[in-house]
């Protein structure tokens, strides 16, 4: 049976500047209607990948297709996409309505059609009643909604978003995050979303693409990255708290295994003399429904215990912990995942 053609296909794309790596050998297939998050630390290549997809940069090698059309060297205006930027990119002297329909006027869309599209976009984004306000009279969340409304009226099947929530406070980010996800589902558009915030990526995306040093480390569902990290970088990046890594020789005999990974929720406290590791408490972080207890052991990094409710354990106190072999994630000397019993 012939596999369906991906809506967006990035094949072996590379971009370098004066010998400096931007991205290298990036390949990614994006289904129509998917929400894809490009995730990673600063300088990992996620924004470069988005700019290559948008046409703001052209690749040194590789191929990009959108809806079966080769757009590798096409101008942004020929790619049938819209963009939402971190800076909102609103005209300060124009009203909300004028900002939203600006692109339609440039493309000479008729006044009746502009009015209909504007009305729908304002309804969807909750901006009815704000039509005549200038950006300076709006909150950060409202400005971001104006940018979203402008993307909606463009009516393009592909929308690229470059860290659109980074200028908002935590409460607004959570609210607008839900708005964006609902809009994507309701409109049936394909979204490629750049972020350094794993909470955004894990809560919004169907597919998370984690990058490091210009290369894709793993692409999959949020569950796949959390429960089956491809390597130690993914293991330590994904999750809050991240996965702890322990020298394999200190927890058992595993052929060809250098490190074992362990999630906080899979660790239990043991009675004295009954645990697998004896650790020193470094800190307690109370978060309401649970307390994270930071632990120190000479053979481990990032070791954290998750306990329900409030717990006050003094720094410097010694506790013993246990865990099941089935919950261990096994990694070889190169840091790559090995087959094991973990989900």
pLDDT tens, residue by residue, 61-116: 999 999 999 999 999 989 999 988 877 788 999 999 999 999 888 888 899 999 99
**DSSP helix/strand/coil, 120:** helix
pLDDT for position 244 = 96
How far, in Å, CA of 48 to CA of 132, rounded?
Answer: 36
Query: What pLDDT band is residue 178 in, cutting at 50, 70 and 90?
Result: confident
Q: What is the mean pLDDT of residues 164-189?
A: 84
Residue that wins the pLDDT comparison between 7 and 89: 7
State how far the Cα of 224 lies from the Cα of 236, in Å rounded to an integer. Answer: 14
**pLDDT of 3 strictly over 80:** no
- Spatial distance between the Cα atoms of 289 and 150, rounded to a whole number of angstroms: 40
How many Cβ atoms from other residues are within 10 Å of residue 1's Cβ? 3
Mean per-residue pLDDT, 52-64:
96
Tens digits of residue pLDDT in 273-316: 899 999 999 999 998 899 999 999 999 999 999 999 999 889 99
What three-state secondary structure class fits 74? coil
Give the list of residues 6+ apart from residue 210 with CB closer than 8 angstroms, or none: 39, 40, 216, 217, 218, 219, 225, 233, 234, 237, 238
Q: Which residues pair with 23 in a beta bridge?
A: 15
- Provide the pLDDT for residue 340: 62
Q: What is the percent of the chain with per-residue pLDDT over 70, rounded to a whole number?
A: 97
pLDDT in the model for residue 176: 81
> Cα(159)–Cα(136) distance, rounded to whole angstroms?
25
- pLDDT band at residue 4 under the 50/70/90 scheme: low
CATH 3.40.50.300 applies to domain 8-232:
yes
Residue 181 confidence (pLDDT) above 50 = yes
pLDDT value at 343 more than 70: no
35-39/207-212 β-pairing? parallel
Q: What percent of the chain lies above the pLDDT cut of 90?
A: 70
Q: What confidence score (pLDDT) does residue 1 get? A: 44
Nearest 5 degrees, angle CA 333-CA 230-CA 283? 80
Indicate whether 2 pLDDT > 50. Answer: no
Domain boundaries, the chain: 8-232, 238-338
What is the chain's Cα-based Rg?
24
246 has a pLDDT exceeding 80: yes
Q: Domain 238-338 - what CATH class?
A: mainly beta
- Position 171 scores a pLDDT of 80
Q: Is 238-338 in the same CATH topology as 8-232? A: no
How many residues are there in the chain? 343
Q: Is the pLDDT of residue 60 over 60?
A: yes
Instruction: Enter the pTM of the model.
Output: 0.89
Mean pLDDT score of the chain: 91
Helix, strand or coil for residue 114?
Answer: helix
Question: In what order do the strands lie in the sheet containing 81-84?
Answer: 81-84, 158-162, 190-195, 35-39, 207-212, 215-220
Q: Which residue(s) pair with 38 in the sheet? A: 194, 209
What is the distance between the alpha carbons of residues 55 and 32, in angstroms, rounded to a whole number? Answer: 19
Maximum C-alpha span of the chain: 79
pLDDT at 237: 96
Q: Are 331 and 261 in contact (CB under 8 A)?
A: yes
């Amino acid at each position: 049976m012939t596999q369906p053609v991906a809506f967006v296909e990035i094949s072996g794309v590379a971009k370098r500047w004066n010998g400096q790596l931007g991205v290298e050998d990036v390949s990614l297939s994006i289904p129509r209607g998917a929400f894809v998050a490009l995730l990673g630390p600063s300088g990992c290549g996620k924004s470069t990948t988005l700019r290559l997809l948008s046409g703001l940069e052209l690749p040194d090698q590789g191929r990009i297709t959108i809806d079966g059309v080769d757009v590798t060297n096409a101008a942004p205006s020929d790619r049938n996409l819209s963009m939402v930027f971190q800076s909102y990119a609103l005209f300060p002297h124009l009203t909300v309505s004028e900002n939203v329909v600006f692109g339609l006027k440039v493309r000479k869309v008729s006044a009746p059609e502009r009015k209909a599209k504007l009305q729908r976009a304002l309804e969807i984004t909750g901006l009815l009643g704000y039509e005549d306000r200038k950006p300076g009279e709006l909150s950060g969340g409202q400005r971001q909604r104006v940018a979203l409304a402008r993307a909606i009226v463009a009516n393009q099947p592909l929308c690229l978003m470059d860290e659109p929530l980074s200028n908002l406070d935590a409460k607004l980010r959570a609210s607008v995050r839900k708005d964006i996800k609902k809009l994507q589902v309701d409109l049936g558009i394909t979204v490629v979303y750049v972020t350094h915030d794993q909470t955004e990526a894990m809560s919004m995306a169907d597919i998370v693409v984690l990058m490091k040093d210009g290369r894709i480390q793993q692409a999959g569902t949020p569950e796949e990255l959390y429960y089956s990290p491809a390597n130690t970088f993914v293991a330590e990046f994904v999750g809050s708290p991240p996965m702890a890594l322990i020298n394999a020789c200190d927890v058992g005999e595993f052929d060809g295994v250098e490190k074992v990974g362990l999630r906080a929720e899979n660790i239990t406290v043991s009675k004295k003399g009954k645990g697998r590791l004896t650790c020193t408490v470094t800190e307690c972080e109370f978060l309401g429904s649970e307390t994270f207890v930071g632990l120190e052991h000479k053979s481990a990094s990032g070791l954290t215990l998750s306990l329900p409710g409030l717990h006050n354990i003094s720094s410097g106190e010694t506790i013993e912990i246990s865990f099941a072999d089935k919950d261990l994630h096994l990694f070889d000397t190169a840091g790559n995942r090995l087959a094991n019993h973990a989900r």
